[in-house]
Structure 1
Amino acid sequence: MEEESTAEPARARPMLHLGEPAPDFEAVTTHGPIKLSDYKGQWVILFSHPADFTPVCTTEFMGFAKMNPELEKRGVKLIGLSVDSVHSHIAWVRNIKEKMGVEIPFPVIADLSMSVGTLYGMIHPGQSATAAVRCVFVIDPDQILRAMIYYP
């Protein structure tokens, strides 16, 4: 099983701006391969976290999982991302279910090459050149970036 995204190779990219098309990507996730373009016609919340098995990231994921039923009713799909491997993500998601009783129902991208993270400006060299910072991107059904929260 391939463990990393297949988006364009990591390279510097200008900051994304609201109203711009969201960059398309292909990636391997905990739910198998996905492309952002597969979600055309639906709202998407793409969010990143620095690392699996950390307390803050775990509580954030549990919060997203709790909100997921209401988001699904509104036609919104969640996609998580970090630079951890798909094996790490799967073990972490299982651990959250076993220890906390919370199922993570959305895919988590394994971005080992940091290609998706680079496309979206999720890799902040001032923080760590090998981890994603916390970012949230709201993408509309036409795949236009409508909101973003970036907190390194």
Structure 2
Amino acid sequence: MTFQIGATAPDFEAETTEGPIRFHDWIGSSWALLFSHPKDFTPVCTTELGTLARLKGEFDKRGVKLIGLSVDPVTKHSLWAEDIRETQGVAPNYPLIGDTDLKISKLYNMLPESTSGDANNRTAADNATVRTVFIIGPDKKIKLALAYPMTTGRNFDEIIRVIDSLQLTAKHRVATPANWRQGEDVIIAGSVSDDEAKTIYPNGWKSPKPYIRIVPQPK
């Protein structure tokens, strides 16, 4: 249901808990994390919003702006924020979009274009597919899209790990292996020929197979 990696993230105007925005202008030259929720006052999403608020400093360090979306109105988001503060210890410290006309949910293919009706009368089950994470680069291209079931809370440590990988590979012609973490070895990208690699990595590389060229993470 989601857009393919490399597609331009659709632009839109929206009301948020921090005022009106135009999405691409709001991103500016930063990275962005857009994450959606099927309904306010739902248990799993409540834990997610609080967790993300606690982790905001980690995203700030990486130049990543956070923005959430739910089909409920901004006024209800503000009430939900009090529950999140009470149960999770911290309220959202990033904007939440009120997508009451379902326009953005449909624009991002999280709901079928044929979906209609008053958002207030829709249940979380009606909006079950509005549980997606998009990582968007400064070029406004989608770098990652993940869709989650309602019963599985999102792993934001993994999302931070992916952002670290994306930002590293945006600067250097490398890829990151399974379970990679900051500071660990990386793989020279397949687009780099051996002759080029010898110039970039004069100390050479480990190569258990000719197509696997392992080097320390670039600084």
Out of 12, 26, 31, the residue aligned to residue 25 of structure 1 is 12
Q: How does 1:1-152 map to 2 (within 5 A)?
A: 15-38=2-25, 39-123=27-111, 128-130=125-127, 133-152=130-149
Inter-partner Cα distance in structure 1 for 2:69 and 2:128: 10
Inter-partner Cα distance in structure 2 for 1:84 and 1:113: 9
Inter-partner Cα distance in structure 2 for 1:128 and 1:100: 24
TM-score by length of 1: 0.82
Q: How many residues align?
A: 138
Larger RCO (CA under 8 A, 6+ residues apart) = 1
Shift of 1:40: 2.3
Name structure 2 gaps, 5 residues minimum: 116-123, 150-219
**Per the alignment, in what secondary structure is the counterpart of residue 55 of structure 2?**
helix
Superposed CA RMSD in Å reads 2.0
Contact 1:83 1:131 in 2 (8 A): no
Contact 1:21 1:144 in 2 (8 A): yes
Shift of 1:100: 3.5
Max Rg structure: 2
Inter-partner Cα distance in structure 2 for 1:28 and 1:131: 22
Inter-partner Cα distance in structure 1 for 2:48 and 2:129: 14
Deviations 1:20-56 (A, max 9, x none): 1110011001111111112121100001011111110
With over 3 angstroms needed to count, the CA separation of the structure-2 counterparts of 1:72 and 1:128, relative to structure 1, is: same
Equivalent in the alignment of 1:8 = none
**Per the alignment, in what secondary structure is the counterpart of residue 44 of structure 1?**
strand
With over 3 angstroms needed to count, the CA separation of the structure-2 counterparts of 1:131 and 1:113, relative to structure 1, is: farther
Equivalent in the alignment of 2:119 = none
**Per the alignment, in what secondary structure is the counterpart of residue 80 of structure 1?**
strand
Contact 1:31 1:108 in 2 (8 A): yes
Inter-partner Cα distance in structure 2 for 1:123 and 1:67: 28
* Percent of aligned positions that are identical: 47
Equivalent in the alignment of 1:4 = none
Shift of 1:86: 0.7
TM-score by length of 2: 0.58
Shift of 1:145: 0.5
1:91 partner letter:
L
Name structure 1 gaps, 5 residues minimum: 1-13
Contact 1:82 1:132 in 2 (8 A): no
Inter-partner Cα distance in structure 2 for 1:84 and 1:132: 15
